[in-house]
Amino acid sequence: MDGLNRDMVEHRLPIQEGRKLVKQAPRRLAPNVVEAIKEEIERLLNAKFIQTMRYVEWISNIVPLVKMNGKICYV
């Protein structure tokens, strides 16, 4: 996003040298939730709000929460 300091808004994983990394097993999600997640990721990629990074040994699952109004919130 233009005008924002990258040091303030960019997220980096604090990986310490010498520590064993933990890789979570992929979480199984309902098909309608998977489609909503894919749409949200595509929207954020197209807006250049996020970019793909590669952490070979580290992965964390997306945790979608369905709100009372039916919308999905990502934690």
Band (73; pLDDT cuts 50, 70, 90): confident
Which comes out higher in pLDDT, residue 7 or 33? Answer: 33
Does the model's pTM come out above 0.85? no
Which comes out higher in pLDDT, residue 49 or 54? Answer: 49
pLDDT above 60 for 13: yes
CA distance 40 to 28: 18
**Cβ contacts of residue 60 below 8 Å, gap of 6+?**
24
Q: State residue 2's pLDDT score.
A: 67
pLDDT above 60 for 66: yes
CA distance 47 to 37: 15
